[in-house]
């Protein structure tokens, strides 16, 4: 699984002009699921997301986690994180999970975050969405359950 995690002051996602999810302080997670991903990847990524120390402490150092601040997560499915742009001009998405598998693991990841005590707002899997966010910092991180950067 791949995730782009952005620390935010607030965020919302709309589908067909209607807000389907919104949060206050916390993170926006753009989540991509790959063909080779499993529930183990979802567990690892949920734990990492909940425990990442990316929020400031009283001295302004990034020493607090999403759990520490009682923050929320807005999770938006993003299969394009598996776009391979190395050849040609059009990305190949052959490494992305098929829709049914992607939806299942997207939901699993969200459920795992909730099981860890995180309030989760969700986009709608497979829908065209409009995401609005106020990046705080900015702090933006890339996570991949299969490799390190």
Tell me, yes or no, whether 70 lies in a domain.
Answer: yes
Catalytic residue among 19, 39, 51, 80: 80
| Three-class HEC string of 58-117 | CCCCEEECHHHHCCEEEEEECHHHHCECCCCCCCECCCECCHHHHHHHHHHHHHHHHHCC
Give the DSSP H or E segment for 36: none
β-strands 26-32, 72-77: how paired? parallel
Q: For the residues of 111-147, what is the DSSP string, one character each?
A: HHHHHTT-EEEE--TTS--EEEEEEEEEEEEEEETT-
**Domain count of the chain?**
1
Question: Could you list the pLDDT tens digit for every one of the 149 residues in the chain?
Answer: 999 999 999 999 999 999 999 999 999 999 999 999 999 999 999 999 999 999 999 999 999 999 999 999 999 999 999 999 999 999 999 999 999 999 999 999 999 999 999 999 999 999 999 999 999 999 999 999 997 55
Tell me which residue range forms the domain holding 22. 2-144
Tell me, yes or no, whether 36 lies in a domain.
Answer: yes
Tell me, yes or no, whether 19 lies in a domain.
Answer: yes
Residue 11: how many CB atoms within 10 A of its CB?
Answer: 24
Catalytic residue among 55, 72, 78, 125: 78
Tell me, yes or no, whether 149 lies in a domain.
Answer: no
Instruction: State residue 147's pLDDT score.
Output: 79
Residue 6, helix vs strand vs coil: strand
Give catalytic status of residue 80 as yes or no. Answer: yes
Instruction: State residue 128's pLDDT score.
Output: 96
Is 113 within 8 Å of 50 (Cβ atoms)?
A: yes
Catalytic residue among 79, 108, 125, 140: 79
Tell me the CATH number at 92. 3.50.80.10
Tell me, yes or no, whether 63 lies in a domain.
Answer: yes
Give catalytic status of residue 108 as yes or no. Answer: no
Residue 14: how many CB atoms within 10 A of its CB?
Answer: 17
Give catalytic status of residue 72 as yes or no. Answer: no
């Amino acid at each position: 699984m791949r995730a782009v995690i952005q620390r935010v002051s607030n965020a919302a996602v709309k589908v067909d002009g209607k807000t389907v999810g919104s949060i206050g302080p916390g993170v926006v997670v753009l989540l991509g699921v790959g063909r080779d991903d499993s529930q183990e990847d979802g567990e690892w990524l949920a734990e990492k997301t909940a425990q990442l120390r990316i929020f400031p402490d009283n001295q302004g150092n990034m020493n607090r986690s999403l759990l520490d601040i009682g923050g929320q997560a807005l999770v938006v499915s993003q299969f394009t994180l598996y776009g391979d742009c190395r050849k040609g001009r059009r990305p190949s998405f052959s490494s992305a999970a098929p829709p049914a598998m992607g939806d299942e693991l997207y939901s699993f990841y969200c459920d795992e975050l909730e099981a860890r005590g995180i309030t989760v707002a969700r986009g709608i899997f497979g829908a065209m969405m409009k995401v609005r966010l106020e990046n705080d910092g900015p702090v933006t991180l890339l996570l991949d359950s299969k490799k390190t950067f």
